[in-house]
């Protein structure tokens, strides 16, 4: 089922669940893309010549040809076409397997619309003839996060979006980079000094910059978090694509 033709690009949505297909089609068309759907890996492969998508959103768990098998076919026969995998399986090994198979990114179900918007815009920039999507280009960002996996994911996605990123594990390390940064994203709970300490030090600095806090607890559970004048306060788990919107809004006054 095809949507109205637009100038942002053509997306093929592949999912065996009709409700998910129609939801994604409606969201993508609202965002300005032309969206076409396929109910199986077999249909998606057969439709490639006529649909000629710029980008594929591909479910992993489908009867018949699985998402990973379809991904292998796309990588062999449509090498320049970005594929974003969507899956309800939370096993990180599944995401690693999909990325190893050539997926440019993996999104979990239920889908977050903000993350979907950011990932699709970025991935569309990888397609031939499309402009690279780098809404954070020119922004110098420091991430202070004690958890290695979280720090690595945030750094990877924010670099994709054009930011110059320095990621550290300690608040004191982040403080030493204030003069070379435009904004800091800090975890509240870290070894040694915490995020509130970092904010206090930054605000006393000759060149104060905005600080965004991320925390695993709500403000009502952490009085120091609620009282501290962070530019924004976000609850974990933090979606890096949503964080990119917050960074752009803090620095530029609007989402990119």
Q: For 183, phi and psi rounded to 5 degrees?
A: -160, 150
Most confident of 81-95, 211-225, 226-240: 81-95
Residue 12, strand partner residues: 36, 56
pLDDT score for 95? 86
Residue 31 buriedness (CB in 10 A; 0-12 / 13-18 / 19+): middle
C-alpha to C-alpha distance for 131 and 181, rounded to whole angstroms: 26
Which pLDDT score, from 0 to 100, does residue 91 have?
81
pLDDT band at 169 (very low <50, low <70, confident <90, very high): very high
Segment 20-41 shows an average pLDDT of 95
What percent of the chain clears pLDDT 90, i.e. is strictly above it? 63
pLDDT of residue 204: 92
| pLDDT of residue 256 exceeding 70 | no
Region 79-106 average pLDDT: 90
For the chain, what percent of residues have pLDDT higher than 70?
Answer: 92
Q: Which CATH number is 10-124 given?
A: 3.40.50.2300
Homologous superfamily of the 140-252 domain (CATH): Response regulator (3.40.50.2300)
Mean pLDDT across the chain, nearest whole number? Answer: 89
Instruction: Note the pLDDT of residue 92.
Output: 82
Task: Say how far apart CA 84 and CA 103 lie, in whole Å.
Answer: 6
- Per the listing, tokens 């009085």 go with 223
d(CA 230, CA 201): 12
Say what the pLDDT of residue 22 is: 96
pLDDT of residue 74: 95
Global confidence as pTM: 0.70
Span(s) in the chain for CATH 3.40.50.2300 = 10-124, 140-252
Band the pLDDT of 225: cuts 50, 70, 90: low
């Amino acid at each position: 089922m095809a949507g109205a033709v637009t100038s942002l690009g053509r997306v093929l949505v592949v999912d065996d669940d009709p409700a998910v297909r129609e939801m994604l089609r409606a969201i993508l068309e609202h965002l300005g893309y032309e969206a076409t759907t396929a109910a199986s890996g077999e249909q998606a492969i057969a439709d490639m010549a006529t649909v000629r998508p710029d980008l594929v959103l591909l479910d992993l768990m489908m009867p018949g040809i699985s998402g990973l098998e379809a991904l292998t076919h796309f990588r062999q026969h449509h090498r320049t076409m970005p594929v974003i995998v969507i899956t309800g399986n939370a096993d990180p090994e599944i995401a690693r397997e999909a990325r190893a198979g050539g997926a440019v990114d993996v999104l979990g179900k239920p889908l977050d619309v903000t993350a979907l918007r950011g990932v699709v815009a970025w991935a569309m920039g990888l397609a031939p003839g499309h402009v690279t999507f780098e809404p954070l280009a020119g922004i110098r960002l420091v991430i202070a996060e004690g958890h290695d996996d979280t720090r690595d994911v945030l750094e990877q996605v924010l670099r994709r979006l054009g930011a110059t990123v320095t990621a550290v594990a300690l608040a004191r390390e982040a403080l030493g980079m204030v003069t070379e940064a435009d904004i800091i994203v800090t975890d509240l709970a870290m070894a040694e000094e915490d995020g509130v300490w970092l904010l206090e030090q930054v605000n006393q600095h000759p060149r104060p910059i905005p600080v965004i806090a991320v925390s695993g607890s709500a403000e009502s559970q952490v009085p120091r978090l609620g009282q501290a004048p962070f530019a924004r306060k976000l609850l974990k788990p933090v979606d890096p694509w949503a964080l990119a919107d917050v960074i752009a809004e803090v620095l530029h006054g609007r989402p990119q």
